[in-house]
Structure 1
């Protein structure tokens, strides 16, 4: 599939493809988009983001100065029109313990609750367990983000515990719920199902 940019038609690099979304690498042309996402009020609240960044800091991060081989940041785009609706990342990949952390953000409320995040998560989990050979992938979700908790449980994440008062945001403390999925749980749920 091709997408139109300001000067010419260029192919869209797709790392992982689903039926409704695909995951693609972030590049320096995405600086403005990613910068605006980091200042989207509801995304900041749901992710507990408190720091601020300049466009120059974002551009340097995208160009690789802030990234390392233990992280993979991808943008979530719609198959139908190549519109970017969020981002997803595997972070803190530990090859010795075969573990990582995953995070996801769907930017606009109009794109939430439609299954896009679920599909993106399943794609990234498949990459983490299959290509990166991870054994455990974990995440943290704040207690007020009930939609995300339901999504993670639907995908197959299990609750492990609660970090009490882990986030101080907008003059209030919030608990962080730790959830994880193991490689065999992913395989039993998605790989064996696809094989049958």
Structure 2
């Protein structure tokens, strides 16, 4: 499938990651990784250049993943939007998104990227189900997902640590039929 750019808005672009993006991806976002991004995504705060580049390049080769970068008007990589763990037989996949810079949060970019990627999952990939999980202390992200049509379908109670306190891992999904209804209403 020949796909590159899946969305453009106000100078922002969502496009497939390319091998030549690897160094910028690392240097613009992992030197160091924003502490809040690490907290909200459940990943460690420090990565070596080799770890990031290796993961990036491996991600480009996987046939069960669409790895999109969110590019600011100035050309810098500010985030990613990913459909991964695609099960082509069941027509389902996982979704995750991350905006790396605090200055870009709260502007609607995450909502836009979520909706564009969700639409790609159903329109282009012809998926039946798109799922995600979000930590209970990330209320802003849960609100974005609800707005995009995802529904809560379960809670893994006290499944993650937020510092020294336990928090829930909320499971959410949207089905193709729900997405179609949502698109009709737009």
TM category (shorter chain) comes to 0.7 to 0.9
The structure with the largest alpha-carbon Rg is 1
State the partner residue of 1:15: 5
Q: What TM-score, normalized to structure 2?
A: 0.86
* Residues paired across the two proteins, number: 180
- Check whether the contact 1:31–1:55 (CA below 8 A) recurs between aligned residues: no
User: Could you give the per-residue CA deviations for residues 66-89 of structure 1, whole angstroms, max 9, x where no partner exists?
Assistant: 8511111111123x4333221110
CA contact (8 A) 1:92 1:101 kept: yes
- Aligned with residue 170 of structure 1, among 151, 158, 163: 163
TM-score normalised according to structure 1 size: 0.82
Aligned to 1:184: 177
Residues 99-110 of structure 1 mapped to structure 2, 5 A cutoff = 99-110=92-103
What root-mean-square deviation, in Å, do the aligned CA atoms of Structure 1 and Structure 2 show? 2.2
Alignment equivalent of 2:125, drawn from 124, 132, 137: 132
Q: 2:83 aligns with which of 90, 94, 102?
A: 90
* Alpha carbons 1:98, 1:136 under 8 Å: kept: yes
Shift of 1:62: 2.4
Gaps in structure 1 of 5+ consecutive residues = 1-12
Runs (5+) with no aligned partner, structure 2:
none
